[in-house]
Amino acid sequence: MRVLVVDDEPQIRRALRTSLEAHGYEVAAVGTGEEGVVGAAEQMPDLVLLDLGLPDLDGTEVIRRIRTFSEVPVIVLSVREAQADKVAALDAGADDYVTKPFAMGELLARARAALRRVIPEQPAQPTLTYGALEVDLPRRLVTLGDEAVHLTPTEYGLLEAFVSNPGKLLTHQWLLRKVWGQGYGTETTYLRTYVRALRKKLDDDAAAPALIVTEPGVGYRWIAEPSD
């Protein structure tokens, strides 16, 4: 599970990173609201821990911006104890509110609870049909018309990422990390080569795409609608 920490206090960021990593979480930490919004978009974390008192943006504004593109669980960490602040944060889209100083055990328990609320909502992988294209996710089989489409493991990983996130803008960095692993993120030429090969095997014309649209300089988007 990947956690994004957004807090302007270096000692808090260090403490959270140490404790979370000790419990098996992968942690990214930033110190401003703008960095938090960008991090939530590019890194697609599983959980955001957010301070309200940031130097550039109020935390509630950060939540509102994140909610325009993501439903990632957000837990607020703040010294503000007033009910009005808690209500404002929750109304903006926060999932929980923890007042500083806090016990790490309590925060970890709240993090697990927030993640549990999200994970069970993931449906069983279906078989998806897009006209002549069929993607059988449980069996990892792809057919086009009556012919099997032979994909490499990497090509299939890309296809699975696309069909599992229909309509979403998937950034280069997110796709590289999702398919190739966390050590990747800047190899856009590598990614373009595999997307080109996948399009060819799926008979999708990049000039007039019916499946995968390129968002220049940013990433790709799966636009096909299931047939049933």
User: Where do the domains of the chain lie?
Assistant: 2-121, 127-222
What are the tens digits of pLDDT across the range 2-29? 999 999 999 999 999 999 999 999 999 9
Give residue 121's pLDDT: 46
Which residues have C-beta within 8 Å of that of residue 47, sequence separation ≥ 6? 1, 2, 3, 4, 72, 73, 74, 75, 111, 114, 115
Mean pLDDT on 190-198: 93
* CATH T-level topology, domain 2-121: Rossmann fold (3.40.50)
Give residue 125's pLDDT: 60
Supply 219's token pair: 């990433």
Contact between 206 and 214 under an 8 Å Cβ cutoff? The reply is: yes
Mean pLDDT on 142-161: 93
- DSSP 3-state assignment of 1? coil
Mean pLDDT on 64-89: 88
pTM of the model: 0.56
pLDDT averaged over every residue in the chain: 89
Contact between 59 and 89 under an 8 Å Cβ cutoff? The reply is: yes
Give residue 126's pLDDT: 79
* CATH T-level topology, domain 127-222: Arc Repressor Mutant, subunit A (1.10.10)
Is residue 200 scored above 90 in pLDDT? Answer: yes
Contact between 5 and 49 under an 8 Å Cβ cutoff? The reply is: yes
